[in-house]
Amino acid sequence: MKKHAKDAKYLHKISHKRIDPPALSGRTGLPALIEEAFLSYNAGRLREACRLFTTRFLDEKTTVGLSLSGALSPAGLCISCLVPLVEAGFIDWIVSTGANLYHDTHFALNMDMHQARPGLNDLELRKHQVIRIYDIVFDYENLLGTDRFYRTLCRGDAFQKNLSTAEFHYLAGKYLAAREDEQGGRHRSLMAAAYRCGVPIFTSSPGDSSIGMNLAALQLEGSKLRIDPLRDVNQSAAVVWDAKRAGRSGVFILGGGSPKNFILQTEPQIQEVLGLDEAGHDYFLQVTDARPDTGGLSGATPQEAMTWGKVDPDMLPDTVTCYLDSTVFLPLLTVYALATHAPRQQRRLMDRLADLTRELEKAYGATRKNRKE
């Protein structure tokens, strides 16, 4: 009996709550659905992710960084989810693939994207100049028109200088926001929303997208526009350095790949390379369909990231990994967050990016005096 009582006490200690959910009905709201029916397995991790995001991430002292990979913008997820999250002050800075930003531009230019189905005849699509992304289809002219937009825009005097990707996207976002306003429609573009809200958007591989391809063509014309990826490294590290001095840093990772590495490498840059006293990101939320046992970064766990200094070891309980499709996860999180948390004051980091970088430079200069190299 004593052993049974001891075991029951231990069970109670590790229990979140007894599994005894209410019956769902057509009147069950989404937050209640997640709280009451998403109890175990990947559904349980989704519930934990929603709670982590709305409590820790959305605390007024936490700076929220988002990494974005996978073809989310063509599927309309920037319009339905990321634009509302940015406008609510729930995302403070972003690292995205260039492809997501290129396809995001289609919506600012009012180009059509269409739902279809997988398994279409790709030879027929090619014959009719239709582009396919799994079950999304659109006219080849969308690509040509978006290419023309970027080449024409970036021939302008405002772009004839060295820019980080955040500075480039902010400047391009200014014109996309103006285009949206001219069309008199609702706000659909993530880049335009980021411009309006002062949210920096970095691209870790600026040459690896159609935007980069068009900028490369302009270089052949003699354009003076140069994208400086090393500037990105310092500016993104400066954002995190400021976040940790003023409060906490949370990283929200959709997918993996280069954007995931770039948002996480800010901490090794601060600690290992610049020699500044730091411990790692405080909050880590990852949505991925990649397995950790293949050794790839996309599936790497927060515990593994901790060994690199990317995640604060004291904050590992405040990490969640969801093995889910981002296209399923993101709409659920968006509604849950908007329904359960009031909008935050926008940090407008883009307005202070130059000052933040100078502060990081100053801190590094002081540290260098005490380092032997």
pLDDT, residue 373, reads 60
Better pLDDT: 69 or 299: 69
Percent of the residues in the chain that have a pLDDT greater than 90, as a whole number: 80
Residue 345 domain-assigned?
yes
- What domain range includes position 172? 45-111+163-212+228-367
pLDDT, residue 300, reads 66
Catalytic sites, residue numbers: 310
pLDDT, residue 312, reads 64
Residue 23 domain-assigned?
no
Q: Identify whether the C-beta of residue 114 lies closer than 8 Å to the C-beta of residue 74.
A: no
82-95 pLDDT per residue, tens: 999 999 999 999 99
Upper half-sphere CA count for residue 270 (Cβ side, 13 Å): 29
| CATH number, position 283 | 3.40.910.10
Residue 142 domain-assigned?
no
Residue 148 domain-assigned?
no
CA 184/CA 226 separation, integer angstroms: 33
Mean per-residue pLDDT of the chain: 92
Instruction: Give me the mean pLDDT over the 63-80 stretch.
Output: 96
Residue 335 domain-assigned?
yes
Does 16 have pLDDT greater than 80?
A: no
pLDDT, residue 310, reads 66
Residue 125 domain-assigned?
no
The lowest-confidence range among 22-31, 267-276, 362-371 is: 362-371
CA 131/CA 113 separation, integer angstroms: 10
pLDDT, residue 372, reads 65
Confidence of residue 185 (pLDDT cuts 50, 70, 90): confident
Confidence of residue 252 (pLDDT cuts 50, 70, 90): very high
pLDDT, residue 306, reads 65
Percent of the residues in the chain that have a pLDDT greater than 70, as a whole number: 93
Residue 243 DSSP SS3? helix
Give a three-class secondary structure readout of 261-276: HHHHCHHHHHHHHCCC
**Domain count of the chain?**
1
pLDDT, residue 4, reads 64
115-169 pLDDT per residue, tens: 999 999 999 999 999 999 999 999 999 999 999 999 999 999 999 999 999 999 9
pLDDT, residue 192, reads 97
Q: Identify whether the C-beta of residue 311 lies closer than 8 Å to the C-beta of residue 319.
A: yes
Write down the H helix ranges in the chain: 2-14, 30-37, 41-52, 77, 83-87, 98-108, 122-127, 140-154, 165-183, 190-197, 210-221, 229-246, 257-264, 266-268, 302-307, 326-340, 349-368
pLDDT, residue 352, reads 98
Reference 233, options 257, 202, 209; nearest CA is 202
CA 127/CA 247 separation, integer angstroms: 55
CA 368/CA 373 separation, integer angstroms: 9
Residue 139 domain-assigned?
no
Upper half-sphere CA count for residue 236 (Cβ side, 13 Å): 32
Q: In sequence order, what are the beta bridge partners of 131?
A: 138
Instruction: Give me the mean pLDDT over the 301-307 stretch.
Output: 70
**Residues contacting residue 291 through CB under 8 Å, at least 6 positions apart:** 299
Does 245 have pLDDT greater than 80?
A: yes
Residue 372 domain-assigned?
no
195-228 pLDDT per residue, tens: 999 999 999 999 999 999 999 999 999 999 999 9
